[in-house]
Amino acid sequence: MAIVEFTDLFKVFGPDPAGALARFRAGADRDALREAGGHTVALADISLAIAPGEIFVVMGLSGSGKSTLVRLINRLIRPTSGQVRVAGADVGAMTDSELTALRRHRISMVFQHFGLMPHRTVLDNVAYGLAIQKQPRSAYEATARRWVETVGLSGFETAWPDELSGGMRQRVGLARALATDPDILLMDEPFSALDPLIRRDMQDQLLALQGDLTKTIVFITHDLDEALRLGDRIAILKDGALAQLGTPEEILLAPASDYVAAFLRDVNRGRVLTASSAMQRTPPQVGPGQSSAASIAPETPLETVLPLVAEQDVPVAVVDADGAVLGTVSRQDVIALLVPK
Ligand SMILES: Nc1ncnc2c1ncn2[C@@H]1O[C@H](COP(=O)(O)OP(=O)(O)OP(=O)(O)O)[C@@H](O)[C@H]1O
Ligand SMILES: [Mg+2]
């Protein structure tokens, strides 16, 4: 079952959202609504389901509705029309105490500009979500210390946020978000303010943590490389509408529109596409002495496959974890995917 589900969702900002939505549904144009009455159709007819344990990336240009989508999940804002469900429960119908429980226990946020409290130490920032759960300090301090250590900040427990670099601050933000052991982590451009190398470190750390934790992560980014690196699936928004939803490989192999294709133009295809997409599923008859010595796993990126097929004339076998042959990949198969028509 989906852990987060949006159904027929619209969000309109402005003085008369319901009226503007009615006009939008009747065919009024988004720009005209903005110019005529100061209304913004921030999300238009979004239906999608996020599965437990996936890293779900939302990407799109500035103003495409990414933050709006994420803020609806913990009801920082409410939809103009449509529904948001978390673990089956309608977020719009929650009472105040249910909503508080949702925000304290099930969902955490990590912010672009860290959102640390300047007058609290690293440890107290990390412990914040536990402290507001009204646990005694003796009960939560060990948990907070463990998270400080997990994100690599041992020794900085008593430091103040302004004594830390950007990357370190965001490690505190991550530790704070994880300390309450939420099911869902909402991350709105968490690494955008960081230098490229630090940013990559943080991506690695997030992937490593996710390997152990398997939280559901809704991750917003402008950065295509980051989206492709982190996302199990990616939703691309354009003007508040869903332009495409799929795995990185699905989107790259079959962009739904020219808009999406243009978005993907500079992607390193060899890094995203894998042997499983390139392989011929029926293994051809391999004559004596023709069988390939090399074999690869289906998830091997083509940038790794390419040198293997380049140096031998017979196709490389693609084998699963049990050693069963799934298919073969030839030089031509790899080139056909790396160089799209
Ligand atoms: N509280 C608000 N009041 C009025 N308009 C808003 C409000 N919040 C967002 N908008 C508008 O809704 C649209 C979508 O905004 P949103 O913040 O979701 O975009 P975004 O994709 O997160 O952009 P960015 O990449 O710049 O963060 C924008 O046109 C924005 O101006
Ligand atoms: Mg935003």
* DSSP classification of residue 285: P
**Among residues of the chain, what percentage have pLDDT more than 90?**
79
Does the C-beta of 63 come closer than 6 Å to ligand 1?
A: yes
Could you give the residue range(s) of every CATH 3.40.50.300 domain in the chain? 53-71+94-267
Q: How far apart are CA 329 and CA 331, in angstroms?
A: 7
**H/E element holding 243?**
strand 241-246
Q: What pLDDT was estimated at residue 283? A: 58
Q: Per-residue confidence at 291, pLDDT binned at 50, 70, 90? A: low
**Cross-strand pairs, 316:** 329
Tokens of 101: 């429980």
Residue 340 pLDDT grade (very low, low, confident, very high; cuts 50, 70, 90): confident
pLDDT value at 284 more than 80: no
Nearest CA among 205, 209, 203, 246 for reference residue 225: 203
Higher pLDDT, 69 or 310: 69
Please work out whether the CB of residue 64 comes within 6 Å of at least one atom of ligand 1.
Answer: yes
- Cα distance between residue 211 and residue 270, in whole Å: 24
Gap between the Cα atoms of 68 and 100, Å rounded: 20
Buried b (16+ CB within 10 A) or exposed e, 278-294: bbeeeeeeeeeeeebee
Ligand 1 in reach of 42 Cβ (< 6 A): yes
Residues forming beta bridges with residue 187, ordered by sequence position: 110, 219
Element (H, E) at 125: helix 122-131
pTM for the model stands at: 0.91
Q: 157, 148 in Cβ contact below 8 A?
A: yes
Q: If residue 319 lies in a helix (H) or strand (E), which one and from where to where? A: strand 316-319
pLDDT in tens, 228-268: 999 999 999 999 999 999 999 999 999 999 999 988 888 89
Query: What is the CATH topology of the domain spanning 53-71+94-267?
Result: Rossmann fold (3.40.50)
3-state class (DSSP) for residue 127: helix
* pLDDT tens, residue by residue, 166-213: 999 999 999 999 999 999 999 999 999 888 889 999 999 999 999 989
Give per-residue pLDDT as tens, 73-132: 999 999 999 999 999 999 999 999 999 999 999 999 998 888 999 999 999 999 999 998
C-alpha 219 to ligand 2 mean position (Å): 11
CATH of segment(s) 271-338: 3.10.580.10
Q: With bands split at pLDDT 50, 70 and 90, how would you rate the model's confidence at 289?
A: very low
Which ligand places an atom closest to the C-alpha of 222?
1
Counting from 1 in the atom list of ligand 1, the atom nearest the Cα of 65 is 18
Q: Decide whether any atom of ligand 1 lies within 6 Å of the 246 Cβ.
A: no
Q: State which ligand 1 atom lies nearest to the alpha carbon of 71.
A: 18
Ligand number nearest to the C-alpha of 68: 1
